[in-house]
Structure 1
Amino acid sequence: MRLDSPWCLIGPVLRTPEVDELTAAVQALREWQHDDAPMQLHPGDIGWAWRLGAEATAATVRTWSRDGRILAVGFLDQPDLLRFTIAPDAHHDEELAQRLAADVSDPARGVLPAGKVYIESPKHTRFQELMFQNGWQSDVPWTPLRRDLSSPVEDPGVEIEVIGPDRAHVHADVIRASFERSTFTADRWHNMANGPYEDARSLVAHAGNQPVAAVTVWSAGPGKPGLLEPMGVHRDHRGQGFGKAITIAAAKTLQELGSSIALVCTPSSNVGAVATYRAAGFQPMPEVFDQRRD
């Protein structure tokens, strides 16, 4: 058995075979999700990236394959940050770990640039062990949180709107007002909806006639974990419980979509976000750390 090319870049020019490969990468991520897995790349992460368009999304995705089967999927969330996950039965695959380590460590291979770079990968894999052995260090901690959806989810206590194409601007406006550097627009919502959005929903919470909070939830299929990405509260309406309310609504929607648990991950330093998710019934899991090469 051999590994195919050091990495398979999907894009940047979108052609039909590349669309098929991108679809295959998302499908692999769906298959790899399960309740006991460590926090890992989710198909919703690719779905949210799709707001920039199919070609831009394709240019950020890498796959590693053996004998035609995808074993790892990577996503350049930032030019210096590669987030990826590995097929569950390949977590301790020595050949794969060695290839991944070589590809992400050598700028000439085009996966990550020279200089300070970061990797997010599942805990307790052979690859992560190998990177530490090669001198990579732990970076700042993140807190993953989860809510079990096997029991009924309470009413969020506010009016919740499920956003359709004609109301994309409402969702986009709240997200932009929630994140200082957000460039999200209605057009980008439509781009996102043209991606792997069939099992996703965008929600907006209203107080009176005002949209006050927004979230998009991503199902990976019935019986699998769902993801919140992103969730935000309008800067003019913070401190009133709307973050808790929209997060409960997100959990309720994922439950209706058949998800087994709801997942979210936030920097541990963002104590307000951690408190909001906990107030909405999410339980923190052990912290996770990116790996950094200085």
Structure 2
Amino acid sequence: MAMVLGMPGVDGLREAVGVLREWQCEGAPTQLHPGDLGWYWRSGAEATAAAVRTWRRGGRLLAVGLLDGPGLLRLTIAPDARQDELLARQLVADVTEPERGVLPPGRVNIEAPMDALVQDLLAAEGWDTDEPWTPLRRDLTGPVEDPGLRIEVVGPEQAHSFAAVHRSAFDGSRFTGERWHAMAAGSPYADARCLLAYDARGDAVASVAVWSAGPGRPGLLEPVGVHRDHRRRGHGTAVSVAAAAALRELGSSSALVCTPSANRAAVATYRAAGFRPRPKVRDLSRAT
């Protein structure tokens, strides 16, 4: 059967989110999570649909990609199709030929599961490995300790406060209360929470969004941020602990987060919150 590359449209996003949930399982390599689409939804449903690519055979979705910026494709593949040679070769052709509408010419990156055949085929085509990232995981089968800060679940009335902390935490962020509302309207947010951490003075000092993939599946922290005026006080660790507790309440089996390996402070923060590093992962990069 022919492989079909497509864009889901707004009406097809729910199906894409659904298969991403199904593909999350313990022990699997780091991969695109429904929460990644959920966080992208801050730009609206239409923009999210325009950034998603799907690959089907015989009507079945076998791969989903998110264009997370102009030159980055975050790709994942159904667990039983990661060594499917026909699919892998189709993926390679689609991502290397700009006219197919997946990636533009010039420098681009692809994130894909490390156990997928497409990794080997792209390397054989001359793609190089990029800077390493460190995935971290916290098991949620046992109770989670008190984070030591007041934690509130963000609702519509706190959207602007959450956005303000996020903008302070990330240089160049344009996140707003309106974008929070757009994100919260997306289907992935039905299994998500945003949290704000407050210090003893009542200042909002850290924020996190957590995304469940359903009971018994790994959940995701994306993003985690500490207000620039309140750094180096343990607030990142505290809000990460609170995130783990929230995911456990949502039924997640574990909590996952990923950060550039060069960001040693972030790795140390997550480790202090009970997350354990997993094998490093690297994007594949094409310079021209």
TM range (shorter): over 0.9
Q: CA deviation at 1:9?
A: 1.9
Using the aligned pairs only, state the percent identity: 62
Deviations 1:71-98 (A, max 9, x none): 0000001110000100000010010000
Matches within 5 A, 1:137-286: 137-195=128-186, 196-207=188-199, 208-286=201-279
State the one-letter code of the partner of 2:191: D
Structure 1: gaps (5+ residues): 11-17
Corresponding position of 2:7: 9
Partner of 2:73: 82
1:263 is paired with a residue whose SS is strand
Q: Is the 8 A contact 2:137 2:276 kept in 1?
A: yes
Q: CA deviation at 1:19?
A: 2.6
Aligned AA (1:206): Y
Paired positions, count: 285
SS in 1 for 2:182: helix
> What are the ranges of 5 or more consecutive residues in structure 2 without an aligned counterpart?
none
Q: Tell me, in whole angstroms, the C-alpha distance in 2 between the residues paired with 1:91 and 1:241.
A: 40
- C-alpha contact (below 8 Å) 2:10/2:46 kept by paired residues: no
In the alignment, which residue of structure 2 is the partner of 1:115?
106
Query: Which residue number corresponds to residue 291 of structure 1?
Result: 284
1:109 Cα deviation (Å)?
0.8
The SS at the match of 1:197 is helix
**Cα offsets for 1:218-272 (capped at 9, x unmatched):** 0000000000000000000001000000000000000000000000000001111
In angstroms, what is the RMSD of aligned CA positions?
0.7
1:2, distance to aligned residue in structure 2 (A): 2.2
Letter in 2 for 1:229: E
Distance 1:124 1:218 in 2: 24
| Alpha-carbon shift at residue 20 of structure 1 (Å) | 2.9
Counterpart Cα distance in 1 of 2:263 and 2:271: 13
TM-score (norm 2): 0.98
Distance of 2:115 and 2:240 partners within structure 1: 29
